C-alpha cells in the first residue's frame, strides 16, 4: 500500500509539473511514425505502444501496471479516426518490478480475431523495425521520440482534446546547459547497456511511456529504445519546490538491442535491423562524476 501511495504521488507530481513533451509537441501529420499507437487503461490512464507485427505490441511495463482496456492504431491524428484493437495477453519482462526503474518493458498480444492489418486509407498503420545495435554507454547523440504524452508547459490531460501522436528530437544542446555526470553507483546510470538516455530542455512527458526512441544508422530510422521515465537532477537541490525542467532533464528508454532475445522469444517475427555501425557516443554528455539522487518519475499520464 505504501509503495502504491508513493507511486501515485510521483504520478501527481509529473502531471502538475511544467514538463514539455517531445520538443513542445510537433504533430506527426504525415504519419511517418504510424507504428506508434496508444493504449488506454481501464482507469482512463494513457500510454503509448509500438507495433511489432499484426498481433504484437511493445510498450513500457509500467504502462500496463493497471489492466489495459484497448489499443488504438492507425490514428491519422484527428483524434477521432483511430481503429480500436482488443487485448488478449500482457507479458511484462520477468525482471520488471512495479515502482522500480529497470527492465521496464512489456509485450502485448492482441486478440487473434482482431489483428492489425495495414490498409491505406482505412487502417493507416505500420510495423516498426527495432535496432539490435548497442550504443556505446547507452548515450545516443540524438534520438527522435514519439508518443501521445502531454504537449505543453504546465500541461494537463484534457478529455475534450484530441489525442495526437507527436514527435521530436531530444539531444543535449552543446550551446545550452551541460548534461550532469553520472556516478557509477547511480542506480539508473546511463552507462548501463539496458538504458538509452537523452538530456535536453525538451523530451518525454507523461503519456509518452511505451513510445519509441528512434535512431538513424544511415539507412533510415529504427526503434533503438522504448520511452520509460524522465527525471530532473535539480529536484535533489530543491525537493520541496517546482522542478526546473527548463534547464534540462533526462528522458530514459529501454534499449531494444539489450532485450532482443527476450522480445524474439515471444515474437519471432519481430524485425530487427542488422546495421554494423553504432552511433558514436556523445562525449559531451559526460559532466563531473556527481551522484544524482533526484526525484524519478515515469513519463506516464
Neighbouring-strand partners of residue 252: 197, 229
More confident residue, 220 or 55: 55
Whole-number Å distance between alpha carbons of 81 and 12 = 30
Cβ neighbors of 189 (< 8 A, separation 6 or more) are 182, 183, 195
User: CA-CA distance, 145 to 135, in Å (whole number)?
Assistant: 16
pLDDT (0 to 100) of residue 139: 72
Highest-scoring range by mean pLDDT, 126-135, 142-151, 271-280: 126-135
- In the numeric block, the cell 484493437 is attached to 85
What are the φ and ψ backbone dihedral angles of 7, each rounded to 5 degrees? -65, -40
pLDDT (mean) for 253-277:
91
Asked whether the beta carbons of 57 and 110 are under 8 A apart, the reply is: yes
pLDDT of 134: 84
The pLDDT > 70 percentage for the chain reads 66
Range name among 102-111, 116-125, 245-254, 284-293 with the lowest pLDDT average: 284-293
**Residues 220, 271 contacting (CB under 8 angstroms):** no
Rounded CA-CA distance 21/34 in Å is: 18
- 128 vs 15, higher pLDDT: 128
Take residue 218 and report the three cell numbers written for it: 544511415
CB atoms within 10 A of CB 177: 15
Structure confidence at residue 263 as a pLDDT band (50, 70, 90): very high
Q: Which residue has the higher pLDDT, 59 or 135?
A: 59
Nearby residues of 160 by Cβ (< 8 Å), 6 or more positions away: none
Residues 66-77 have pLDDT tens digits of 888 999 988 766
pLDDT band at 291 (very low <50, low <70, confident <90, very high): very low
Q: Stretch 74-101: mean pLDDT, rounded? A: 83
Q: Above 90 in pLDDT, residue 17?
A: no
Domains of the chain and CATH, by start: 2-34+124-298 (2.40.10.10)
Average pLDDT on 253-270 reads: 96
The answer to whether residue 88 scores a pLDDT higher than 70 is yes
Considering only CA atoms, which of 18, 30, 110 is closest in space to residue 76? 30
Mean pLDDT of 230-235: 66
- Residues 100-110, mean pLDDT to the nearest whole number: 93
Backbone angles phi, psi at 137, to 5 degrees: 60, 15
Higher pLDDT, 63 or 169: 63
Question: Cα–chain-centroid distance for residue 234?
Answer: 21
* pTM of the predicted protein model: 0.82
Please, which pLDDT band fits residue 50 given cuts at 50, 70 and 90? very high
62 with 68: CB under 8 angstroms?
A: no
> Can you give the C-alpha Rg of the chain in angstroms?
18
pLDDT band of residue 255 (cuts 50, 70, 90) is: very high
User: What percent of the chain has a predicted confidence (pLDDT) above 90?
Assistant: 33
Which grid coordinates belong to 202?
Answer: 525538451
Nearest C-alpha neighbor of 215 from the set 207, 204, 223: 223
Residues 6+ apart with CB under 8 A from 240: none
Amino acid at each position: 500500500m505504501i509503495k502504491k501511495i508513493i507511486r501515485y504521488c510521483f504520478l501527481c507530481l509529473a502531471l502538475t509539473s511544467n514538463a514539455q513533451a517531445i520538443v513542445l509537441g510537433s504533430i506527426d501529420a504525415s504519419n511517418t511514425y504510424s507504428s506508434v499507437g496508444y493504449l488506454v487503461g481501464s482507469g482512463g490512464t494513457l500510454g503509448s505502444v509500438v507495433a511489432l507485427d499484426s498481433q504484437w505490441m511493445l510498450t513500457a511495463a509500467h504502462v500496463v501496471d493497471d489492466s489495459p482496456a484497448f489499443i488504438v492504431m492507425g490514428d491519422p491524428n484527428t483524434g477521432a479516426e483511430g481503429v480500436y484493437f482488443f487485448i488478449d495477453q500482457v507479458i511484462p519482462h520477468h525482471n520488471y518490478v512495479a515502482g522500480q526503474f529497470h527492465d521496464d518493458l512489456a509485450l502485448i498480444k492482441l486478440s487473434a480475431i482482431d489483428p492489425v492489418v495495414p490498409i491505406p486509407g482505412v487502417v493507416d498503420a505500420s510495423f516498426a523495425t527495432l535496432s539490435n545495435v548497442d550504443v556505446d554507454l547507452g548515450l545516443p547523440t540524438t534520438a527522435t521520440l514519439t508518443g501521445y504524452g502531454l504537449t505543453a508547459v504546465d500541461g494537463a490531460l484534457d478529455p475534450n482534446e484530441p489525442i495526437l501522436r507527436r514527435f521530436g528530437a531530444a539531444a543535449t544542446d552543446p550551446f545550452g546547459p551541460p548534461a550532469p555526470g553520472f556516478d557509477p553507483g547511480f542506480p539508473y546510470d546511463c552507462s548501463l547497456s539496458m538504458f538509452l538516455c537523452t538530456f535536453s530542455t525538451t523530451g518525454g512527458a507523461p503519456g509518452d511511456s511505451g513510445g519509441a526512441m528512434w535512431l538513424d544508422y544511415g539507412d533510415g530510422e529504427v526503434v533503438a529504445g522504448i520511452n520509460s521515465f524522465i527525471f530532473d537532477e535539480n529536484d535533489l537541490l530543491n525537493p520541496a519546490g517546482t522542478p526546473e525542467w527548463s534547464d534540462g532533464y533526462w528522458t530514459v528508454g529501454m534499449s531494444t538491442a539489450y532485450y532482443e532475445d527476450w522480445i524474439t522469444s515471444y515474437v519471432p517475427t519481430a524485425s530487427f535491423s542488422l546495421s554494423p555501425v553504432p552511433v558514436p557516443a556523445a562525449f559531451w554528455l559526460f559532466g563531473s562524476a556527481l551522484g544524482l539522487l533526484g526525484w524519478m518519475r515515469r513519463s506516464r499520464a
